[in-house]
């Protein structure tokens, strides 16, 4: 079996993600660095609004995202954060299948940490995954915003709250701890 096939299954990536290479960095706690790229498309999607747009440039180049651990290893995903020229937002980092916009963590890592924040609390989740309370708070905001965009507002649901994070339609209620 090819290594890339194993890595893809271990990382839980969809067919939209192509594994470019991987390296293991030996440390107290090993780091598995997996370099990926999104499947090549003629146009990309704006990371902010999701509109199809033509490619602009390679942005600031290489970026990395913390992913769910693989056994004893910390997993780090790296890729070139290409930009598109969106007609609404201007040059913006393109959407990637593995992470939400403007985050240093992958989508599945955020989902896992937010789940822990819900069943426990944000500080416990931050301690468990070695991140900060603020990072967990921002993950909760991104997940709640995404959830709110998906629901049918005609059903009368206008706000979603996770722990002290509240996301609602219209003016936002400031979180007193931010």
Q: Which residues bind Zn ion (CB under 5 A)?
A: 46, 48-49, 51, 86, 88-89
Q: Which is nearer to Zn ion, 88 or 172 (CB)?
A: 88
* Shortest spacing between CB 86 and Zn ion, in angstroms: 3
Residue among 146 and 175 whose Cβ is closer to Zn ion: 146
Q: Is the dihedral of CA 64, 66, 70, 74 positive or negative?
A: positive
Q: How far is the CB of 141 from Zn ion (least distance, A)?
A: 19
User: By Cβ distance, which residue is nearest to Zn ion?
Assistant: 46
CB 53, min distance to Zn ion, A:
7
Q: How far is the CB of 47 from Zn ion (least distance, A)?
A: 8
Any idea which residue has 């985050």 for tokens?
Answer: 103
User: 56 or 133, CB closer to Zn ion?
Assistant: 56
Question: Which value, to the nearest 10 degrees, does the dihedral of the CA atoms of residues 18, 130, 74, 30 take?
Answer: 150
Q: Which is nearer to Zn ion, 50 or 120 (CB)?
A: 50
Q: How many residues does the chain have?
A: 178
Smallest distance, Zn ion to C-beta of residue 27, A: 39
Q: Which is nearer to Zn ion, 11 or 86 (CB)?
A: 86
Pairwise CA distance, residues 176 & 159, whole Å: 17
For residue 11, how many C-alpha atoms fall within 13 Å in the half-sphere facing its CB? 32
Q: Which residues pair with 76 in a beta bridge?
A: 33, 66
Positive/negative CA dihedral, 11, 15, 18, 19: positive
């Amino acid at each position: 079996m090819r290594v890339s096939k194993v890595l893809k299954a271990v990382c839980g990536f969809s067919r939209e993600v192509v594994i470019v290479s991987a390296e293991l960095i030996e440390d107290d706690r090993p780091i598995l660095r997996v370099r990926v790229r999104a499947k090549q498309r003629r146009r990309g999607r704006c990371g902010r609004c999701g509109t199809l747009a033509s490619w602009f440039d390679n942005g600031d180049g290489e970026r990395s995202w913390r992913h769910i651990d693989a056994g004893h290893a910390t997993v780090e995903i790296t890729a070139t954060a290409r930009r598109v020229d969106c007609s609404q937002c201007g040059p913006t980092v393109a959407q990637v299948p593995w992470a939400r916009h403007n985050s240093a963590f992958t989508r599945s890592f955020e989902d896992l940490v937010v789940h822990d924040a819900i069943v426990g609390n944000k500080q416990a989740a931050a301690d468990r995954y070695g991140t900060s309370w603020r990072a967990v708070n921002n993950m909760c905001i991104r997940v709640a915003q995404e959830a709110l965009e998906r629901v049918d507002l005609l059903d009368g649901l206008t706000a979603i709250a996770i722990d002290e994070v509240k996301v609602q339609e219209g003016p936002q209620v400031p979180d007193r701890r931010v």
